[in-house]
Structure 1
Amino acid sequence: MMFFPKMTKSQRIGLLFVVLILFIDMLLYSLLIPIVPYFTETLKPSSTMMGILFSSYAVAMLIATPFFGPISDRIGRRIMLLIGLVGLAISTILFAVSDSLALLITARFVQGLAAAATWPTALALLADLFPPKMRGAIMGIALTAISTGTLLGAPIGGWLFEMSGHRTPFLAAAAFTLINIILVYAFLREETTRSESEKLQVGGFLRHPQVAFIAGIVLLAEISLCLLEPTLPVFMTDKLSITPAAIGLLFAVMTLAYGLIAPVAGALSSRFNPFTLMFVGILSLAVFMPFLVWAGTLWQAALAMALVGASVGFTLSPTLATLGEIIDRGGSGAYGTAYSLFNMFHGVGMVAGPLAGGILTDVLPVSSAIIAVAASIFSFGILLYVMLRAKQSSPSASTHKEMKM
């Protein structure tokens, strides 16, 4: 990409650390997945307790995100990133020594707290370092780091588990995180000076029509993506008679497509209307979701998964740079607060998606439930876009005052 030669040394270092931090965060998130059968066999938890284990991450992230983002606007990105990385190291060590379900849930909760510190701060650091014209593609690279960590976490965890037991994946991740802490402490420097002016009136920011549109789009995309995780594997197994390994490969295809399209969509958002791109992405997601249940072969299912993953990546990538531009127009550098709100929308989707999937599949067949969700996404996507256009064309659409710092 043409913008790489134009990056300064501080921009290159900042981007490198953000990629590493987001990668390790999501690697740790998915590292637990292949080790779950071991804990299920040894600890004998109920289905409810396993649900609590997995949801504790999102709950912790939702609780802590509103505090950590604004704090990073005041004390600086480097300090908050170090705090988050220390939290990640503690959580992985807790996973390694866990011999009870309570300790596992505690470790997952601490992991969610750490993510609440690292995610919005890392994205805010990119907004600090890069001008608006470069931000779209750069934020897409950040999303690719997230998807790559998600993609590799489970296979790496499974491989290390088979080699040396259930503690090894977590101890290796803790060592990697500690190295990351040392590197960030030694080499990451901030050029932006913090000031008291970098405060955001969150209520006014959320009432901004463009922010409200982004919030709705993120929620629709995240709920759809997280809804598929608990419902689709059983459906695909029953319909196509495929193995768990094949199910894993299907989700890997979806994650890979997400990661590949995110930088492209981010780059396009600096050249075209980003809200139109988000709208096209969410409608594409609604159109392609039914193909998941219509697929009759493994190859058709893989293509459908790729189209869904690419649609989600195309939808979400422009949201990050656009939030930064809205903050720029408000005359502040309170990116930490803005991206903490993005993290909250993401967290709500992580909680609501599996819940919605469970409720719908209790009353409908999985195929009907997914088609109903696709129809809902299509309808709500159009509604959000129509409302945005209506508010932007109204005389009161000058909303800078709503974002006063």
Structure 2
Amino acid sequence: MKQTPAFSSHQKLVVALLALTQFTVILDFMVMSPLGDMLMKSMSIKPNQFGFIVSAYAFSAGISGLLTAGFADRFDRKKLLLFFYAGFIFGTLCCGLANTFYTMVAARIVTGLFGGVMGSISLAIITDLFDISLRGRVMGFVQMAFGASQVLGIPIGLYLANAWGWEAPFFLVAGIAVIVMGMIFISLEPVTAHLAVQRDKSAFKHLLHTVMKRDYRIGFTATALMSIGGFMMMPFGSAFAINNLHITQEQLPLLFMVTGVGALFMMPFIGKLSDKIDKFRLFAAAALYMMVIVLIYTHLTPQPLWIIMSLNVLMMAGIMGRMVPFTALTTGIPDLEDRGAFMSVNSSLQQIAGGIAAVVAGMIVSQKDKFSPLEHYDTLGWVIIGLTIPCIFLVYRVSELVKAKLAKGAAVVSVPVATEA
């Protein structure tokens, strides 16, 4: 295994700020799943309608990413981050104030328009400031936000929801986000190196230039396929746990907390591992492992709580074991002048694919009444397995592209060194 260099103090600050930012954005998105059963009962909505609420965020985020892709490399990335973060906070407040199916859909659309771009801006900052040999660790730490949202955010949010109503978690997220936004404004330095290498005169030409590159399109396709599989189970996770596995509303925070603790321990380890061994091999092993766990979980019947928690932790290991090396690989595809646009388009396709997955999952899963078990949830497991197999092949192609690009860069750098010798 190869040794990796340490982070500088400024890099550590950047990682911490981006992790906090992602914590709030991921919490806003992830809290929809544990609140799903509560929202479906409170608003008297059916599974297909709840799937539409989830997909409304994803589709609006995808559209927003495409619309901003042409402009993503034309501004200081810090200013872009602050602008979209402010819009995300406003949308989250609207979610807490919604009281019908239609107002919730509208609020999720607003939140998605701004929050859906946050991930791509963060990835562009990471790609600008960190060498690819460090990005596995960076992604491991930043994606600890996923685990932290489950350890801290979701249990606290569910506790508040049980005590004061489902609206409370959204107000919690907005309050935390305001504090994080102030920290970014004060502490984060401008990120402007990409401005010196811009060639395209118009935003549309820049977007078209990015989309037309064949290597980029391979990365886009892999991301879309990854997202379709990943989003299918998520919207109905709490409803399945409560109605099929007989988890109580009081036990649900504990289930998410234990899963999140597992993710917190796994993220740094997976990140370091992906910087020391071949990223594709790690991805492929995690994908095959995840297929087995997903098949077991989606066919699960009522079990003791400790078995359900253990399976959730094992499933999270597979999901994160795929995501960290895959994300690190995709950051190696774009050139410096295209990174913002590439990340925006990539994020858009991720969100749109996730929205399609949520809609399709809502069409597959059914429920006879508010308290009946979900039907056909096991079908989702088979669909996810069917999508994961071609995804492994696409990620292999991404890996080969990145290796070829790195080899080409190394060859160019070595030319003047050989001449001087």
Normalising to structure 1: TM-score of the pair?
0.79
CA contact (8 A) 2:97 2:167 kept: yes
2:358 matched to 1:354?
yes
* C-alpha distance in structure 1 between counterparts of 2:165 and 2:375, whole Å: 38
Matched with 2:196 is 195
Consecutive unaligned residues in structure 2, runs of 5 or more = 200-205, 367-373, 410-421
Per-residue deviation, 1:39: 6.0
Matches within 5 A, 1:257-336: 257-293=262-298, 297-298=303-304, 299-327=306-334, 330=335, 332-336=336-340
- Give the direction of change, closer, same or farther, for the CA distance of 1:261–1:337 in structure 2 (3 Å limit): farther
- Any conservation in 1 of the 2:299–2:378 contact (CA below 8 Å)? no
The residue identity in structure 1 corresponding to 2:322 is: T
Deviations 1:93-129 (A, max 9, x none): 3234434544332221111111133111112112222
The corresponding residue for 2:16 is 16
**Contact kept in structure 1, 2:78 and 2:191, CA below 8 Å:** no
The 8 Å contact of residues 51 and 362 in structure 2, kept in 1 or not, is answered as: no
Unaligned runs of 5+ in 1: 400-405
Partner of 2:346: 342
Query: Which residue of 1 is the match for residue 390 of structure 2?
Result: 380
Do the aligned partners of residues 255 and 393 (structure 1) sit closer, same or farther apart at CA in structure 2, a change above 3 Å counting?
closer
Contact 2:95 2:107 in 1 (8 A): yes
Output one character per residue of 1:341-398: Cα deviation in whole Å (capped at 9) or x when no partner.
Answer: 3323431342233334344457x9647524523541453245446767999999xx99
Write the mapping of 1:153-172 to structure 2, written as runs, cut at 5 A: 153-164=153-164, 168-172=168-172
1:137 CA drift (Å): 0.5
Change (3 A) 1:189 1:292: same
Question: Is the contact made by 1:21 and 1:180 (CA closer than 8 Å) also made in structure 2?
Answer: yes
- Counterpart residue identity of residue 317, structure 1: V
Residue type at the aligned position of 1:303: S
Cα offsets for 1:246-281 (capped at 9, x unmatched)? 455445544544454333333233232222222222
Equivalents in 2 of 1:216, 1:13: separation in Å? 33
Question: Which residue is 1:57 aligned to?
Answer: 57
Paired position in structure 2 for 1:243: 248
Q: For 1:212-260, what per-residue CA distance to the aligned partner results, in whole angstroms no more than 9, with x for missing partners?
A: 2x54554444333322235565655566444344455445544544454
Does structure 2 retain, via aligned residues, the 8 Å contact 1:282–1:377?
no
Counterpart of 2:121 in structure 1 is: 121
1:145 positional shift: 1.1
Alignment of 1:383-394 (within 5 A): 383-384=393-394
Distance 1:34 1:288 in 2: 20
Q: Is the 8 A contact 2:140 2:270 kept in 1?
A: yes
Q: Aligned partner of 1:68: which letter?
A: T
Using CA pairs below 8 Å that are at least 6 residues apart, which structure has the higher relative contact order? 2
Check whether the contact 1:92–1:171 (CA below 8 A) recurs between aligned residues: yes
1:78: how far off?
Answer: 0.8
What one-letter code is carried by the residue in structure 2 that aligns with 1:141?
F
Q: Measure the CA separation in 1 of the matches of 2:25 and 2:114.
A: 9
Distance 1:244 1:254, change over 3 A: same
Give me the whole-angstrom Cα distance separating, in 2, the residues matched to 1:341 and 1:106.
23
Contact 2:43 2:100 in 1 (8 A): yes
Aligned AA (1:15): V
1:266 partner amino acid: G
Following the alignment from structure 1 to structure 2, what is the Cα–Cα distance between the partners of residues 391 and 14? 28
| Corresponding letter in the other structure for 1:309 | M
Three-state SS of the structure 1 residue aligned to 2:329 is helix
Equivalent in the alignment of 1:402: none
Partners of 1:281 and 1:315 within 8 A in 2? yes
Letter matched to residue 315 of structure 1: R
* Aligned equivalent of 2:415: none
Secondary structure of the residue aligned to 1:326 is: coil
Q: Partner amino acid for 2:280?
A: F
TM-score by length of 2: 0.77
- With over 3 angstroms needed to count, the CA separation of the structure-2 counterparts of 1:304 and 1:132, relative to structure 1, is same
Q: What is the aligned-residue identity percentage?
A: 21
For this pair of structures, how many residues does the alignment match? 388
CA-CA distance at 1:18 after TM superposition: 0.5
Q: Is the 8 A contact 1:77 1:190 kept in 2?
A: yes
Residues 44-98 of structure 1: CA deviation (Å, up to 9, x unaligned): 5566554433221111111001233442321011111111111122113323443
Residues 258 and 311, structure 1, Cα contact 8 Å, conserved in 2: no
